[in-house]
Amino acid sequence: MTQKKKRKKIKRTPFWIKVIISLFLIVIISGGIAAYRLYHAIYQPNIFLGERRTTHIFIPTGSNFNDVKAILYENGMIINTNTFEWLAEKKNYKNLVKPGRYLIHEDMGNNELINLLRSGNQDPVRLTFNNIRTKEELAGSIARQIEADSVSIIRLFKNTEFLSKYNLTSETAKLLFIPNTYEFFWNTSAEQLFERMNREFNSFWNEERLRKAQNINLSPLEVGTLASIVQSETSRPGEFSKVAGVYINRLNRNMPLQADPTVIFAVGDFSIRRVLNRHLEIDSPYNTYKYAGLPPGPINLPEMRVLDGVLNYQKHEYLFFCARDDFSGYHAFARTYSQHLANARRYQNALNQRRIMR
């Protein structure tokens, strides 16, 4: 009997199993690709800012989703607009647009960007204003920093009914705006601006300051008006309280203040460096040569330190002062008119030598 070689039987995988495995692998790979694309659409950076790492976008009040897209797309900030719009749709951002000033950075993905815009979590504006004389200047300065325009702000400065709820007039309204740095949301309206500044004004005028104002028989608004004159007269902090003392002495004696800066304000020409007799003839309640007492409102925005300089004025017997002839910014003080005339002549001669005639 011949022996036959035993052959091992090779089991073949059934065709239907191969099909199932192939389909399973296709599903896994396709799912992985889909998951990667989904992750990329949601989380991968989708912002282009050029050489900048961060920037702000401003979404005006009343904007809709199309407006937001225009802001982002016109500046070329969105790399893939399709994924941005797809996720915005999924997250219902179209119905949740909030105005404001938003800080965006180059590493933001669609999810982070949309969550930020949807939340209304703004980057506040640090609002400042100084070296301001007129309401128009103030309105313009503020309007360059927040959404409210200068027209709407000026309108409230002239609205006596609106101002009356803050016990203000059109002339005194500027005194709400004490120079400082304030955090505001960019989309602040003109009405919200005044409301906030009224709170800041009341915060500044604490019990101690109110008591000091009462001791010199002045209201907070009158202190502010006097401080604005002091601030125009001297830029030297060491002189604030001394100059204030001169004016308080004159007020207590019913003497006209005769403050040159009020005349310049009345004339409206802030380039004037030398007040002349013809300037003194202007008929204005701000002309403190013609009209006794304080003018109807401030001639600038007095700083906190000047307000405190008035409240803590120096008690002395000076009734006059004049800029020194060395142009140091300091002043020569006098008790009598004859002393003052001598000081004034020296200063006038110095002006003549420098050919400062107006």
pLDDT tens for residues 18-57? 556 655 655 565 555 555 565 556 769 999 998 899 999 9
As a whole number of angstroms, the distance between CA 220 and CA 26 comes to 80
- The C-alpha torsion from 159 through 160 and 161 to 164, rounded to 10°, is 130
Q: Are 96 and 192 contained in the same domain?
A: no
Q: Are 164 and 259 contained in the same domain?
A: no
Residue 338 lies in a domain: yes
116, 102 Cβ separation under 8 angstroms:
yes
**Three-class HEC string of 93-156:** HHHCCCCEEEEEECCCEHHHHHHHHHHCCCCCEEEECCCCCCHHHHHHHHHCCCCCCHHHHHHH
Residue 106 lies in a domain: yes
As a whole number of angstroms, the distance between CA 108 and CA 245 comes to 58
Model pLDDT, residue 355:
82
- DSSP label at residue 92: T
Token pair listed for 333: 């003080």
Closest CA to 103 of 63, 47, 61, 182: 47
Q: For residue 6, give every residue at least 6 positions away whose Cβ sits within 8 Å of its Cβ, in sequence order, or none.
A: none
Residue 110 lies in a domain: yes
- Which one of 103, 119, 135 terminates a domain? 119
Q: Are 132 and 105 contained in the same domain?
A: no
Q: Are 211 and 336 contained in the same domain?
A: yes
Q: Are 163 and 198 contained in the same domain?
A: yes
Model pLDDT, residue 29:
55
Closest CA to 137 of 154, 125, 152: 154
Residue 247 lies in a domain: yes
Domain range enclosing 197: 125-204
Residue 108 lies in a domain: yes
User: Token match 């604490």: residue?
Assistant: 206
Residue 330 lies in a domain: yes
- List, for residues 116-170, the tens digit of each pLDDT value: 999 999 999 999 998 999 999 999 999 999 999 999 999 999 999 999 999 999 9
Number of domains in the chain: 3
Q: Are 294 and 185 contained in the same domain?
A: no
Backbone angles phi, psi at 4, to 5 degrees: -100, 140
What percentage of residues in the chain have a pLDDT greater than 70?
88
Radius of gyration of the chain (CA): 35
47, 78 Cβ separation under 8 angstroms:
yes
Token pair listed for 111: 């999810």
Backbone angles phi, psi at 57, to 5 degrees: -115, 145
pLDDT averages per 10-residue partition of the chain, 358 residues: 52 62 57 53 84 95 97 92 94 96 95 96 96 96 98 98 97 98 98 98 98 98 99 97 98 97 96 91 97 97 98 98 94 96 92 82
Token pair listed for 315: 């008690």
Residue 37 lies in a domain: no
- The C-alpha torsion from 214 through 216 and 218 to 222, rounded to 10°, is -130
Model pLDDT, residue 42:
77
Model pLDDT, residue 40:
53
Please state the length of the chain. 358
Closest CA to 47 of 117, 91, 118, 110: 110
Model pLDDT, residue 17:
64
pTM for this predicted structure: 0.86
Q: Are 278 and 314 contained in the same domain?
A: yes
Residue 41 lies in a domain: no
Q: Are 100 and 87 contained in the same domain?
A: yes
As a whole number of angstroms, the distance between CA 128 and CA 107 comes to 31
Q: Are 136 and 271 contained in the same domain?
A: no
- Which one of 189, 204, 219 terminates a domain? 204
Token pair listed for 74: 């016109």
Q: Are 200 and 216 contained in the same domain?
A: no
Q: Are 74 and 164 contained in the same domain?
A: no
As a whole number of angstroms, the distance between CA 44 and CA 66 comes to 23
182, 125 Cβ separation under 8 angstroms:
no
Which SS3 state, helix, strand or coil, does residue 267 take?
helix
- Which one of 204, 224, 253 terminates a domain? 204
Domain CATH number, residue 108: 3.30.1490.480
Closest CA to 210 of 298, 308, 297: 308
Q: Are 245 and 339 contained in the same domain?
A: yes
